[in-house]
Amino acid sequence: MKAKIVIGLGAALLASITIAAIAAVASLRLTPPAPEVKFSALSGETFSTSELRGKVVVVNFWGTYCGPCIKEMPKVVEAHRKFSARGYETIAVAVWRDDPERVAQFAAKHALPFKVAIDSSGELGREFGNVRVTPTVFLIDKNGKVLRRYVGKADWTEFHQLVERELRS
């Protein structure tokens, strides 16, 4: 009888380990790479997602006409100031519906301390999975994989924890 119980426990342990391994592999596959896109910043600078590898990157799709985006922008600025010296990059992408002049005025008025790009054709939003709601924030790890996508209001406590963890890795 004892032998059957031991064998049963061993089989259960093996099954648990197998399930855990499958879940770990599946979770790796669920972390998609960020799309390879070129950004054009208001400053005239152009850069691509691949040029940002090695940094933790936030790509924030927003609009000057979007109340929640404007309300959230101080949190984006706060995160940038907190983490930028440690290998963190912020790109605020104004969506195609926005007026580039209004975006430039907003960026200047609020002295945004990060890169501001304009998605004038909507291509960046399409490449990032058809962004339709603003704000939409993507947190990208040092290897160019999307760690988290926030649609609408972000959980900034969780966001800061994820950034801290990734910067330490």
Tell me, what CATH number does 131's domain have?
Answer: 3.40.30.10
Q: What is the mean pLDDT of residues 44-66?
A: 96
What ranges in the chain are assigned the alpha helix state H?
2-29, 67-83, 100-109, 123-127, 156-168
Please give the Cα distance from 18 to 163 (Å, whole number): 30
Instruction: Please tell me whether residues 25 and 49 are part of one structural domain.
Output: no
Average pLDDT, the chain: 87
Instruction: Please tell me whether residues 106 and 143 are part of one structural domain.
Output: yes
Contact criterion met (CB below 8 Å) for 60 and 137: yes
Please give the model's pTM, rounded to 2 decimal places: 0.81
Instruction: Please tell me whether residues 67 and 104 are part of one structural domain.
Output: yes
Say which residues have a Cβ less than 8 Å from residue 105's Cβ, sequence separation at least 6.
Answer: none
Q: Is 66 helix (H, G, I), strand (E, B) or coil?
A: coil
Instruction: Please tell me whether residues 46 and 17 are part of one structural domain.
Output: no
Instruction: Please tell me whether residues 84 and 146 are part of one structural domain.
Output: yes
Q: What is the number of structural domains in the chain?
A: 2
Tell me: the pLDDT tens digits for 100-115?
999 999 999 999 999 9
Question: Is the N-terminal amide bond of 100 cis, ω within 30° of 0?
Answer: no
Instruction: Please tell me whether residues 2 and 50 are part of one structural domain.
Output: no
Domain span at residue 17?
1-30
Predicted confidence at residue 2, as pLDDT, reads 54
Instruction: Please tell me whether residues 15 and 75 are part of one structural domain.
Output: no
Tell me: the pLDDT tens digits for 11-45?
544 444 544 444 444 444 467 999 999 999 999 99
